[in-house]
Amino acid sequence: MSNIRLNTITKKFGTTDVLKGVDLDIDDKEFVTLVGPSGCGKSTLLRILAGLEQPDEGQVIIDGKNVTSMRPADRNLSMVFQSYALYPHLTIRQNMMTPLKLRDLSTSQRLPLIGPFLARKEYKELFSQVDRTAKILKITELLDRKPGQLSGGQRQRAALGRAMVRNPLAFLMDEPLSNLDAALRVHMRAELTQLHQRLGATFVYVTHDQAEALTMSDRMAVMMHGKILQYGSPEDIYQNPANVEVAKFIGSPAINILSASVNDYAQICIQNLILDLFAPTQEPNITIGARPEHLTFCDDNPTALTGFVQHIENLGADLYYHVKIKDEQRPLIVRSAAGNGKRHQIDDLVHVKFDLNSTLAFAADGTRLQTHRKLMDELAS
Amino acid sequence: MSDQQPTFRFSTSATIKHAVLILGALIVLLPFYVMVSYSLKSPAEIMQNTGGFFGAQIPFRDDYCVKLGNAIADCMVTPWIYNYTTAFEKAPLVRYLLNGVIVTVSIFFIQVIIALPCAYALAKLKFWGRETVFALVLFCLLIPVHAIALPLYIMLAKLGLTNTYAALIVPWTISVFGIFLMRQFFMTVPDDLIDAARMDGMGEYSIIWNVMLPTAIPALMAFAIFSVVAHWNDYFWPRIVITGNRELFTPPLGLREFKGDADGDNFGPMMATAVIIVTPLLAAFALAQRRFIEGITLSGMK
């Protein structure tokens, strides 16, 4: 049982504002991801939650209790670090024993040599706890090795084991997969999600990799410049970004952003092209965003953009065409399934059509504009 | 340079460099050569500078033995045996060596107990004025021992501590060099490791002894060699604070036993004593050579 609430957290390092009043609600048993580019304050937020940093203002509330000034160990959270941070001089078993010993044993029972002798029963219990956790993570045969003798993935598991062994209220993870190679990272992604379901614990996961955030989380918070820009389910954030920065950050390849204008009939126009899409705004200059999968090739028609294929990325199942449009700086990226219709070659003249239901519009300041397929009455009058 | 060219090629600059290095090594090694050589030779050979490195090892008459009224035939001794036995007989060399061990080991342990928390605080804790404190530490590195020897001596004398082990140990217990060296090493320890220990529930002191100390073993070994060599070989400070009590003499003070006697300097046994004093260090160095060099590069890097 653990609801975590962060209330208007502010933090400054020197004169730089790292966090500018961040609010976050995390429900029990939820997998929440904090995602954002490096330097956005996501790790600092996690460290404040862990108690490793003190916020300048704001409170950390766990289960209705204000723990802002409590020591990290007393909050009963555990953390997995990017560099694993296993004690290099101890075996994996001793690494996993350490948090248990510090929590469950008295000072005299922790003494070397005499301690295990004095508290044989307690030690037996701790050993069996370690063994149980090791079995879940399938690292039993690694228990007597030292971290230096393990591969990256094995160390990752050992670090998870050390975090899991004491049944914390919540797991905090600071980019735990970023030191692994690509294949292992994808594998560990699935494994962590399964572990989350199996343990039924709260996970707070920090990453700069939007793919990790999209695949793993129940809810994700997109952070930039010390603020949470949007907090919601991955589907929601992908399909309904609150502003252009979120839209650009989430999704790979990145969303296509085009400058556009709104004419007197509230219709969105790109260059000379008038889309059958309406935006209720007085501003003439807006931007529109279209994800690669929301663009399709079509025959020449008045609602399509025309350009040349500049580059083709072949990902096996999908092809990404980079289409150079006249007067646009960046090429438009169009996804097309490999077996789907005619394959274009470099320098081919192509026509690109928007999926108007999924096309997003943003005001000049970056905020999202609602778009309509039909002109609304109040705008028409 | 040479490592870019795997095949041998004569290079004037490399030859000059090596010539200079060899010359330097010879200059440094010459006194050791003389020390070992003299410790093997008879007094006559030392005075006349004959006999090569080992001496002829012809038995000679021990005048002191004759004076005690023994028959001349019983007083004939082989030079190297005479030198080394005299070294142990005339002075309580074993006692001196023991004192040396007590003093150097105590100094090192107390230095570690003080330097590790200091270094940890300077490297990993954020507090107001940390940089100033570190600047002061660096400044203290510049103060030569001899400059503060007199005030230190007066302090110890007023406390009535001269001619005690405390006088030999206490002034050296805070090693600025040790703090500096360990601080530089701790800077390289990832913060995550310390944070992990905090999450596990360790206090700051517990982190120092249970996390930082084990990871710092290589740096500590290097520091141990610096510290032990310096205090084992120290002649200056023991000479000042140990004035009468021969029971407290450290090995270098023991060398004085053979100096300035009424019947002249007795170089053979004196050099034998020197060899005996130096040997433990040479052995330790040979065993820990790799670590020693690590330690030098460690302190030289930053």
Answer yes or no: do B72 and B95 share one domain. no
Please report whether residue A363 resides in a domain: yes
Is the distance from CB of A276 to CB of A260 less than 8 angstroms? no
Answer yes or no: do B104 and B40 share one domain. no
Q: Does residue B5 carry a pLDDT above 60?
A: no
Pairing of strands A57-62, A4-13: antiparallel
Please report whether residue A260 resides in a domain: yes
Contact B215 A77 (CB under 8 A): no
* Residues in a beta bridge with A298: A351
Answer yes or no: do B106 and B216 share one domain. yes
Please report whether residue B96 resides in a domain: yes
Minimal C-alpha gap between A79 and chain B (Å): 7
Q: Scanning the structure block, which residue is given the tokens 């990453």?
A: A207
Q: Higher pLDDT residue, A264 or A322?
A: A322
Please report whether residue B84 resides in a domain: no
Torsion, Cα B25 B26 B27 B31, to 10 degrees, reads: 110
Please report whether residue B267 resides in a domain: yes
Q: Does residue A207 carry a pLDDT above 60?
A: yes
Report the CATH number that the domain containing residue A260 is assigned in CATH: 2.40.50.140
Answer yes or no: do B46 and B133 share one domain. no
Give me the half-sphere count of Cα atoms (radius 13 Å) on the Cβ side of residue B255: 19
Please report whether residue B21 resides in a domain: yes
* CA nearest neighbour of A229 among A22, A8, A4: A22
**Which residues in chain B have Cβ-Cβ distances shorter than 8 Å to A98?**
200
Answer yes or no: do A214 and A280 share one domain. no
Q: Scanning the structure block, which residue is given the tokens 């023994």?
A: B70
Q: Scanning the structure block, which residue is given the tokens 């953009």?
A: A305
* Residues in a beta bridge with A32: A204, A219
Compute and round to an integer the Cα radius of gyration of chain B: 25
Task: Note down the domain range covering B35.
Answer: 11-79
User: Chain A: which residues have CB within 8 Å of chain B?
Assistant: 47, 50, 52, 71-73, 77-79, 81-90, 98-99, 102-103, 162
Compute the distance between CA of residue B299 and CA of residue B177 in angstroms, rounded to an integer.
10
Whole-number pLDDT of residue B300: 40
Answer yes or no: do B75 and B185 share one domain. no
Overall domain count for chain B:
2
pLDDT band at B294 (very low <50, low <70, confident <90, very high): low
Answer yes or no: do A129 and A223 share one domain. yes
The ipTM assigned to this model is: 0.83
Answer yes or no: do B63 and B100 share one domain. no
Least confident of A237-246, A332-341, B9-18, B196-205: A332-341
Contact A73 B193 (CB under 8 A): no
Report the CATH number that the domain containing residue B102 is assigned in CATH: 1.10.3720.10
Overall domain count for chain A:
2
* Average pLDDT over every residue of A53-68: 92
Answer yes or no: do A221 and A264 share one domain. no
Contact B199 A50 (CB under 8 A): yes
Answer yes or no: do B190 and B44 share one domain. no
Answer yes or no: do A92 and A238 share one domain. yes
Minimal C-alpha gap between A75 and chain B (Å): 9
Tell me: the pLDDT tens digits for B103-126?
Answer: 999 999 999 999 999 999 999 998
Whole-number pLDDT of residue B1: 46
Q: Does residue B100 carry a pLDDT above 70?
A: yes
* Average pLDDT over every residue of B150-179: 92
Answer yes or no: do A240 and A302 share one domain. no
Task: Note down the domain range covering A221.
Answer: 4-244
Tell me: the pLDDT tens digits for A168-193?
Answer: 999 999 999 988 888 888 988 998 99
Average pLDDT, chain A: 89
Cβ neighbours of residue B265 under 8 Å, at least 6 residues apart?
B258, B259
CA B64, B70, B73, B79 torsion: positive or negative? negative
By CA distance, what is A97's nearest residue in B? Answer: B200
Q: Which of A200, A222, A244 is the last residue of a domain?
A: A244
Give the closest of A79, A88, A89 to B199, CB-based. A79
CA B186, B191, B193, B198 torsion: positive or negative? positive
**Which residues in chain B have Cβ-Cβ distances shorter than 8 Å to A102?**
200-202
Q: Which of A244, A267, A300 is the last residue of a domain?
A: A244
Compute the distance between CA of residue B267 and CA of residue A202 in angstroms, rounded to an integer.
79
Answer yes or no: do A105 and A240 share one domain. yes
Please report whether residue A105 resides in a domain: yes
Highest mean predicted confidence (pLDDT) among A188-192, A229-233, A369-373: A229-233
Answer yes or no: do A345 and A212 share one domain. no
* CA nearest neighbour of A103 among A159, A20, A168, A17: A168
End-to-end C-alpha distance for chain A, whole angstroms: 55
Compute the distance between CA of residue A165 and CA of residue A99 in angstroms, rounded to an integer.
8
Phi, psi at A10, each rounded to 5°? -120, 145
Consecutive H or E run containing B26: helix B12-38
* Average pLDDT over every residue of A195-213: 92
Answer yes or no: do B18 and B107 share one domain. no
Report the CATH number that the domain containing residue A37 is assigned in CATH: 3.40.50.300
Answer yes or no: do A240 and A282 share one domain. no
* Average pLDDT over every residue of B140-158: 92
Q: Which of A244, A264, A284 is the last residue of a domain?
A: A244
Answer yes or no: do A140 and A237 share one domain. yes
Tell me: the pLDDT tens digits for B46-97?
Answer: 888 888 888 888 888 877 777 777 777 777 888 888 888 888 887 788 899 9
Answer yes or no: do B237 and B108 share one domain. yes
Q: Scanning the structure block, which residue is given the tokens 């800077």?
A: B187
Contact A78 B195 (CB under 8 A): no
